[in-house]
Amino acid sequence: MANTYTQIHIQCVIAVKFRQALIQPDFKERLHQYITGIIRNNGHKLIAINGMSDHLHIFFGLRPDQSLSDLMRIVKGESSEWINKEKLTPAKFRWQEGYGAFSYSRSQIKAVAEYIANQEEHHRKLTFLEEYKNFLEKFEVEHDEKYIFKPLD
């Protein structure tokens, strides 16, 4: 798109179906690389990616020629297909429906990337559910509690 200039930085948070701890250290880095490839192949710029065994944070520069919902559908669909094809989990792998998406200004890029890089440290202090609710409150996102990622039983 000629004469279109944008600066859109998005952090997406996605969870494993039923928040199962299926993303294991032995393939976590390969998963990050695979999703990085998906993001880049769709024309976007990955800034940071990391997570825990039950969820993932993806921070990227979004190009305006693809909707966020289309990109997340592709990321989740292709990555779960890859995990299942490679038989990286004992049971069928699926991402939970939906995602969280939060936008940031250029001045916040470094801090957000550092936050994502330090996921293990953050989750010593708070659960994924607490972290996710904090994002929703901080960004003043109206939400229905019944659609929030379910807590572990």
Locate the domains of the chain by residue range: 9-147
Residues 15-68: pLDDT tens digits?
999 889 999 999 999 999 999 999 999 999 999 999 999 999 999 999 999 999
- What is the value of pTM for the model shown? 0.90
Whole-number pLDDT of residue 61:
98
By C-alpha distance, which of 77, 78, 73, 25 is closest to 51?
A: 25
User: What pLDDT was estimated at residue 59?
Assistant: 98
Is there a contact between 127 and 54 (Cβ–Cβ < 8 Å)?
no
CATH code for the structural domain at 9-147: 3.30.70.1290
Q: Is the pLDDT higher at 131 or at 81?
A: 81
Residue 150 clears pLDDT 80, i.e. is over it: no
**pLDDT single digits (tens) 116-131:** 999 989 889 988 888 8
Say how far apart CA 24 and CA 7 lie, in whole Å: 34
